[in-house]
Amino acid sequence: MSIIFDPWFYAVAIPAVFLLGLAKGGFSGVGIAATPLLALYLPPLEAAGLLLPVLITQDLISLYVYRHHWDARSLKVMLPGALAGMAIAWWTASIVSDDAVRLIVGGVGLVFVLNVWLRPHASAVKLSDAAGVFWGAVSGFTSFMTQGGGPPYQVYMLPKLVLVGTTTIFFAIINALKIGPYFLLGQFTPANLGTSLALLPLAAAANMAGIWLVKRTPTGLFYRIAYALLFVVSVALVYQGLSHLIRG
């Protein structure tokens, strides 16, 4: 098993893992920038595959911390849609190029950030179960492609004010179910797995830091930084994808 040693990789990987730790700790949403950031160095799906063991490790920590704070009804509504969304993403990833995936990842990031910036006071309306299945599917799709299923998940869940453990369990299930498809898509290379293992201590530390910070720190600054970063990175990915596709 090998490992990536390029310092430029760690210049994007370390912030990406830290963002995932903050998201798993309770700053839900900031983790959407992690895969686009790492995709500046690796093909997007390979970046998502490298981050998956990191995410699963962080899931285990958060599952323990928030094990008493969850709502079964919300999971029953959203998980079937999430499975369908993951299946669509798996099929999409198997037939399109890395540059097309860059466009998808960058496009998802831009849509999310622009929605936050242009509609900062959008009202939260309680949605039906059918809407929950739909947004579960969107969350499953974006989680598979970008490890960023949080924003569509929140569209349905935020008005319900459910406990943070529900989010933890939802994405722990989704992340565990990605293992087979990512393996079949060839994303678990020796270098990816070795590098993921090397990042696990940082992942655990970032997760605990997120849990500590979410109880003591105003969230506004973290979100502003994460969204600005996501915007810049998403523009870069869209540019990369378009320029490579145009050049053929």
Residue 161 is predicted with a pLDDT of 47
CB 141 within 8 A of CB 47: no
Q: Sorting pLDDT into bands at 50, 70 and 90, what band is 229?
A: confident
Q: 225 with 29: CB under 8 angstroms?
A: no
Quick one: pLDDT at residue 56?
92
Per-residue model confidence (pLDDT) at position 4: 87
Residue with tokens 């098993």: 1
Q: Which of 161, 206, 210 is nearest to 51 (CA)?
A: 206
Averaged over 11-19, what is the pLDDT? 90
pLDDT digits over 144-199, tens only? 988 878 778 877 776 554 566 788 889 999 999 999 999 999 989 888 899 999 99
Q: Is the pLDDT of residue 136 over 90?
A: yes
Kindly state the percentage of the chain with pLDDT values over 90. Answer: 27
Residue-level pLDDT at 53 = 92
Q: What is the 3-state secondary structure (H, E, C) of the chain?
A: CCCCCCHHHHHHHHHHHHHHHHHHHCCCCHHHHHHHHHCCCCCHHHHHHHHHHHHHHHHHHHHHHCCCCCCHHHHHHHHHHHHHHHHHHHHHHHHCCHHHHHHHHHHHHHHHHHHHHHCCCCCCCCCCHHHHHHHHHHHHHHHHHHCCCHHHHHHHHHHHCCCHHHHHHHHHHHHHHCHHHHHHCCCCCHHHHHHHHHHHHHHHHHHHHHHHHHCCCCCHHHHHHHHHHHHHHHHHHHHHHHHHHHHC
Q: Provide the whole-model pTM.
A: 0.80
pLDDT at 184: 94
Is the pLDDT at 79 greater than 90? The verdict is yes
Contact 20, 54 (CB under 8 A): yes
Query: What count of other Cβ atoms lies within 10 Å of the Cβ of residue 198?
Result: 14
Lowest model confidence (mean pLDDT) among 6-10, 107-111, 126-130, 219-223: 219-223
